[in-house]
Amino acid sequence: MNDVMLAVDIGGTKTAVALVDSEDVILSRATRPTPGSAGPGAVVSTVVNLATELLDRMPQAILRGVGIGTAGVVDVRSGSIVSSTDTLAGWAGTPLADAVRRGMGTRLPVDAIVHVQNDVDAHAAGEIRHGAALGADSVLVVAVGTGVGAGVILGGRALRGARHVAGEIAHVPTPGAEHLTCTCGRSGHLEAIGSGLGLYRHYLWLGGDPAETDARGVAGRAATGDVLAARAVRDSAAAVGRAIAAVVTVLDPERVVITGSVPTIGDAWWSAMDAAFRAEVIDALQGVPLLAGTLGGDAPLRGAAASAWSALRGKS
């Protein structure tokens, strides 16, 4: 029989759950769309149903706990959601650790741990233990997908902040985004233009074809010579690059790891992001490497599990 950790990645679009061994190797996984508009109860039920499905596949596994990475600002000590955008309706204030423990019932042993953190912090934990940040003492991990987020590792430990907001790069005021509304309700933040949804909305604002449906489609048009599409990709990527430059100037990390779905839409995005970063940072920071994440969608699951294993060992 194997000791396992249940790893959970709750995003605005999908929820992934995996059983992970003590070396952070994923043994089994399952995914469903996140019912974000249906409220916290529906999201927790999705997690519990996926967990039950996986545990039924491995009846000999001994569940030692649950590691969760979730969208939103998280109080790691209490396992609750401090604040959130409207991507997950009613998510702010959810006592997530307690809700998952109750939902799991007898499937979760009484001495098991439930460890909750922000999803990009979980992503950072995965990349620093097993991916592009392996061996680094300090790293900034930036995830660009449906939204934009960042995780900060300093001295090998996650930086949480006095109010649990460290790394919330999504809401950095960003020149060139003033015409777009962020998911937090304010205008001009990085996520409003730098995310996949932001890139797409910026394309439409420029006068792009409304028949196009998403950022990947816009990038496809840019690759075939569509001038408006190319500008949208360039503007969005440059906004991310400038924001990274600002954070790097404050933190001076050993490495920056950039991951998520948007950086994979084409070389033009990465080139524009890198050029904007290099144009902004001072000479002393020109050597900071910008690296592509290597774990993809496995990063938050492996990081959530690793963090939970660490918390469990610290508890014993």
DSSP SS3 for 224 = coil
Tell me the CB-side half-sphere exposure of residue 84, using CA atoms within 13 A. Answer: 27
Q: Is residue 128 part of a domain?
A: no
Q: What is the pLDDT averaged over residues 3-12? A: 95
CA distance 91 to 85: 8
| Shared-domain flag, residues 33 and 63 | yes
Q: Is residue 127 part of a domain?
A: no
- Alpha-carbon distances of 224 from 220, 236, 237, 277, rounded to whole Å: 7, 18, 18, 26
| Shared-domain flag, residues 151 and 87 | no
Q: What is the pLDDT averaged over residues 232-258? A: 97
| Shared-domain flag, residues 98 and 150 | no
- Which pLDDT value is given to residue 315? 64
Report the domain count for the chain. 2
Any idea what the CATH number is for the domain that residue 51 is in? 3.30.420.40
CA distance 57 to 80: 29
Q: Is residue 281 part of a domain?
A: yes
DSSP SS3 for 244 = helix
| Shared-domain flag, residues 18 and 156 | no
- Alpha-carbon distances of 184 from 39, 49, 187, 260, 294, rounded to whole Å: 17, 30, 9, 20, 30
- Alpha-carbon distances of 177 from 130, 167, 213, 237, rounded to whole Å: 35, 19, 20, 12
Q: What is the pLDDT averaged over residues 120-148? A: 94
**Portion of the chain with pLDDT greater than 70, in percent:** 99
| Shared-domain flag, residues 151 and 270 | yes
- Which pLDDT value is given to residue 314? 84
- Which pLDDT value is given to residue 203? 98
pLDDT tens digits for range 275-304:
999 999 999 999 999 999 999 989 999 999
Q: Is residue 15 part of a domain?
A: yes
Q: Is residue 129 part of a domain?
A: no
Which token pair is 150?
Answer: 């960042």
Q: Is residue 242 part of a domain?
A: yes
Q: What is the pLDDT averaged over residues 24-28? A: 96
| Shared-domain flag, residues 36 and 100 | yes
| Shared-domain flag, residues 301 and 288 | no
| Shared-domain flag, residues 108 and 166 | no
Q: How confident is the model at residue 316 (pLDDT cuts 50, 70, 90)?
A: very low
pLDDT tens digits for range 39-72:
999 999 999 999 999 999 999 999 999 999 999 9
| Shared-domain flag, residues 276 and 311 | no
- Which pLDDT value is given to residue 86? 83
| Shared-domain flag, residues 90 and 142 | no
SS3 content of the chain, % helix, strand, coil (to 5): 45, 25, 35
| Shared-domain flag, residues 118 and 257 | no
Q: Is residue 35 part of a domain?
A: yes
pLDDT at 12 over 90: no
The whole domain housing 262 covers 136-292
Q: Is residue 199 part of a domain?
A: yes
| Shared-domain flag, residues 285 and 301 | no
